[in-house]
Structure 1
Amino acid sequence: MSPADASGRLPDAFLRPGSSSFVDFLTAHAPELLPGNRSTPGTATLPSTADLAPHATTIVALTFGTDGERGVVLAGDRRATMGSMIASREIEKVFAADEYSAVGIAGSAGIAVELVRLFQLELEHYEKIEGSLLSLDGKANRLATMIRGNLPMALQGLAVVPLFGGYDLDRGTGRIFSFDVTGGRYEEREHHSVGSGSVFARGALKKLWRAGLDSEGAVSVAVEALYDAADDDSATGGPDTVRRIWPVVATVTAEGYRRVDDETLAAVVGRIVAARSEGGQHA
C-alpha cells in the first residue's frame, strides 16, 4: 500500500478511526508487510532456508525482589550460528519492548529482529492511540498474536521463540512469559530459559536462583547461567574476554528498562572465572 495517492494525500485508511493495534492495521491494509507473510524460496535443488539463515540461541530470564526493589532480568549470549558456522559473535538478542518491558529472541535471527521491531511499534502505537500504557498481560497477548502470525514461516523452519519479561505496574513486581511457535503464551515462575542452550541454563538457574535476590545478584546469576550454557552448547557463545564481548543483560524495574553496562559485566565475568579457576563451582 502506497503511503500517499497521486495527489500526495494520505489514503483514507490512514485517517479513519480504528483499532489501537498497528498489526491489525497492517493485516487489513498491507498484509504482505508482516514478517509471517513473507515468501521464501523453496526448491528441491536449494538447501533448506533454515540452514541459510543465522539463528540466535540462548536467552535467560529471572525475577528478583527485595523490600526496596523488584523486577526482572533478561540476558542473552552474543553468538548467532548458521549450520555449523558462527555467523556472528556480536548479535544482540535482548531489546527494550517499551519503558517497562523487554524481549529476548531465539530462533531465526532476521525474522526475530523484524518481529521485535514490529512489537515495539505495536506498543508505541497503542500508547499514542489510547493515551496509556498497555498492561503487561496485554503486551504478552499482543506478542503471542504476532508469533501465531509467523506460523507459516515456522513450518518452513524459520521459527521465532521469544522470552518476554517486564515490570507489572499494577502488581509491583517482575513477571516472565514464554511462548511456543503456535503463539501459546505461558507465564513462568521465578526463572526460565529458551534456545539451544536452555536445558543447561535452566539447570544453573535452578541451583543459583533464590528468593530475595537483589538486582546485582540477579545479573550475576543470569551471566553464570549463560556461562554454563556456553560450556555445553556449541551454539551458545560465552563471554569473550579477548575481544571483550559480553552478554546483553537488562533489568526492568519500577524505574524502567536499563541495560547493564559492559564494565559491570566484565567485573561479573571476572568473578565467575576466578571462582571456577580456584576450583569453586559458582561465583
Structure 2
Amino acid sequence: MIELGPGPSFVEYLNRDRPDLLPGAPIQSQGASGAAGQVPHGTTIVALSYAEGIVMAGDRRATMGNVIASRRIEKVFETDRFSVVGIAGAAGVAIDIAKLFRVELEHYEKIEGTRLSLDGKANRLASMIRANLTLAMQGMSVIPLFAGYDTLAGTGRIFSFDITGGLYEEVEHHSVGSGSPYARGALKKLWQPDMDATAAVRVAVEALYDAADDDSATGGPDAVRKLWPVVYAVDSHGARRVEDAILAEMARSIIATRTDDGKEA
C-alpha cells in the first residue's frame, strides 16, 4: 500500500514507492531495437491559436513499421478544464504519460486547493518526459504537444518538448510527428490571427489532411469508416471536444474543394 505524504506531486509518490508503475519503467524482455520495432507509434498532432483560445487536433492512425496497427487510436486528451495534450511517438508509453499527467494535475489541485498555472503544468509535463529519457534512447520516444488557456494572461498558449524534456513555447501554431513538416506548411498558409474557433478547427483538419496526403503514417479523414480526427478547442469557458458531425461536414467540404465536386459549374 502506498503512503501518501504531504507533497502535491503524485508522480513523486510513484517514483518513491512504486517506480515500476511509471511509464518510464525499464523494459527487460527485449533489446532496444526489438522493443522499438514492435511498438505502435502515433502521429500527427497540430495546435494553433485563435482569437479566444487554442485548437489541438490529432489523426487516428498508429503504425508499427509498415503496418497500420490501429485506425482508431486517440492521441489528444483533456488534461484538466483549461488544457489538453497531444502525443506522438511510442503509443503505449505516450498514452500512459498523458493519463498520469492528468492524475498529477488532479492530485495537485486536491492537495493544494488550487490549480497549477499553465507554465507550471508545462514544467510538470517536461519533467515526466525527462524521466522517460532511457526509453527514448532505445527508440521509444514520446513527443507531446501541450496547449491550454492561460487564465492569468487571458490567452491561449502552446508548448512543445524534445525527448530530453526541453520545453519551448510556440507562437501561433505548431505540429509534431512524422507528418509535421507537411502540416506546418498548411498551417503557415492558412493560419490567421483573428480566426474564430470554427475557422481554427477547419484549419487544423485541413493541416492533418495535407499531412496524410504525403505521410503514410498519418491517417486522413476516413469517410468510409466514418473516422474523423480528435479535435479539442480550449478557451475561457474550458476545454471541449468538437463533435464528429461537425468534423465530418468540414472534412467533406475540404475534400470537395480539392476535387471536381468543388469546382464551380
Q: Same fold (TM over 0.5)?
A: yes
Identity %: 61
Name the amino acid aligned to 1:25.
Answer: Y
**1:54 is aligned to 2:36:** no
Q: 1:33 aligns with which of 21, 26, 29?
A: 21
Match status 1:73 vs 2:55: yes
Q: How far is 1:274 from its partner?
A: 1.0
Structure 1 gaps, min length 5: 4-12
Partners of 1:141 and 1:30 in 2: CA distance? 22
Counterpart selection for 1:139 from 108, 117, 121: 121
Deviations 1:77-127 (A, max 9, x none): 000000000000000000001110000000000000000110000000000
Superposition CA RMSD, Å: 1.5
1:47, distance to aligned residue in structure 2 (A): 5.6
1:121 corresponds in structure 2 to 103
Q: Helix, strand or coil for the counterpart of 1:36? A: coil
- Is 1:23 matched with 2:23? no
Q: 1:262 aligns with which of 233, 238, 244?
A: 244
The question of whether the paired residues in 2 share the 8 Å contact of 1:37 and 1:152 is answered with no
Report deviation, 1:167.
0.3
> 1:216-275: per-residue Cα shift (whole Å, max 9, x none)?
000000000000000000000000000110000110111101000010001101110111
For residue 279 of structure 1, report the CA deviation from its aligned partner: 8.6
* Length, aligned pairs only: 263
Give distance in 1, aligned partners of 2:138 and 2:261: 45
The corresponding residue for 1:277 is: 259
CA distance in 1, matches of 2:261, 2:36: 41
Matched, 1:203 2:185: yes
In structure 2, the CA distance between the partners of 1:47 and 1:190, relative to structure 1 (3 Å rule), is: closer
CA contact (8 A) 1:40 1:49 kept: no
SS of match in other structure, 1:161: strand
Q: CA deviation at 1:159?
A: 0.4
Matched, 1:216 2:198: yes
CA distance in 2, matches of 1:26, 1:275: 51
1:9 is matched with: none
Per-residue deviation at 1:178?
0.2
| Displacement of 1:38 | 3.0
CA shift at 1:37, angstroms? Answer: 2.1
User: Which amino acid is 2:35 matched to?
Assistant: T
After TM superposition, the structure 1 stretch with the greater mean CA deviation from structure 2, 261-270 or 29-38, is 29-38
Matching of residue 225 in structure 1 with residue 211 in structure 2:
no
Unpaired segments ≥5 residues, structure 2: none
* Cα distance in structure 2, aligned partners of 1:280 and 1:166: 35
Q: Please state whether the residue corresponding to 1:49 is helix, strand or coil.
A: helix
Query: How far did 1:25 drift?
Result: 1.5
Tell me how far apart the structure 1 counterparts of residues 25 and 222 of structure 2 sit (CA, whole Å): 37
CA distance in 1, matches of 2:33, 2:162: 25
- Is the alpha carbon distance of 1:116 and 1:170 closer, same or farther for their aligned partners in structure 2, counting shifts above 3 Å? same
Matched letter for residue 199 of structure 2: G
Give 1:33 deviation, angstroms: 1.6
1:171 is aligned, of 113, 138, 153, to 153
Aligned AA for 1:211?
P
The whole-number CA distance in structure 1 between the counterparts of 2:137 and 2:159 is: 23
What CA distance in whole angstroms lies between the structure 2 residues aligned with 1:194 and 1:144? Answer: 15
Q: Deviations over 1:101-155 (max 9, x none)?
A: 0000000000000001100000000000010110000000000000000001111
Which of 1 and 2 has greater Rg? 1
User: Is the contact between residue 33 and residue 139 of structure 2 (CA under 8 Å) also seen in structure 1?
Assistant: no
